[in-house]
Amino acid sequence: MPNPIDTLFSKFRAVKRKAFIPFVPAGDPDLATTAQLVRALAKSGAALVEIGFPYSDPIADGAVIQASYTRALARGLRIDDIFRQIGPLAAELSIPLVAMASFSLVHHRGAERFIEQASNAGFSGAIVPDLPIDEAGELGRLAAARDFKLIHLVTPTTPPERAAQIARSSTGFLYVVSVTGITGERAQLPPEIIQQLDWLRGQASVPLCVGFGISKPEHVHMLRDHADGIIVGSALVRRLEQAGSKPEPRDIDAIADLGKELVDALNG
């Protein structure tokens, strides 16, 4: 049985559809809300959802996501809690889930055990943003043995030779970082991202999905003819933060409505 991520992009490619991939931090303000939000985003047209594993010292996340992680950790969230919540949720969804986790979390648990638990909980792959490609061999082999996708990142400052190596090594899709720096909403995306995507298209055999800074339809319109998907995090998490410690159904609906607006811009 093929990995759900491969199935998704194969199906989307056949109908010339692009993937909207929202990022949801686990446990903010609680795991029940996380599940509600994932369900709502799936109904609004999300093709795949990234679940962020809170970590005390993220290296690429901006203030909005860092604050979300801090709130979740302050309430005592643990990795096992995430796996317990995601298992039943993944079983009811028809879209893949991907874990976004620091390598420190993977290493501390043990790479083989982490992949086994993530796979058993219904995750189809993982993004490990702080794992250098030169050190990813063992994790990549363990992931491949379970057909668990290991998704790598390319940034605007990655040298071409290294970017080509990362593109060849990534499975599931290639995460293309659109801006230099950390996550967070941007007024504009750099025009150079289009040239980068077109170049990477010739290097990668997997789909290209763009993240960092994307928050509005204008960004989506700029990218949709050059990428296979867009990844949106801070714009959604900021609205979750504004909802406070007890989001109401209308708060979840408002976040899902933003997701639908971006889906429509992507495939309209």
Q: Which of 92, 144, 148 is nearest to 120 (CA)?
A: 148
Query: What phi, psi does 66 have (nearest 5°)?
Result: -55, -45
Instruction: Judge whether 248 and 229 are in contact, CB under 8 Å.
Output: no
CA 204 to CA 196: how far, in whole Å?
Answer: 12
The angle subtended at Cα 50 by Cα 245 and Cα 107, nearest 5°, is 100
Q: Give strand pairing partners of 97.
A: 49, 123
Q: What is the DSSP string of 136-178?
A: -HHHHHHHHHTT-EEE-EE-TTS-HHHHHHHHHH--S-EEEE-
Measured between alpha carbons, how far is 63 from 81 in angstroms, rounded to an integer? 24
Give the pair of three-digit tokens for residue 73. Answer: 């950790």
Residue positions annotated with a catalytic role: 50, 61
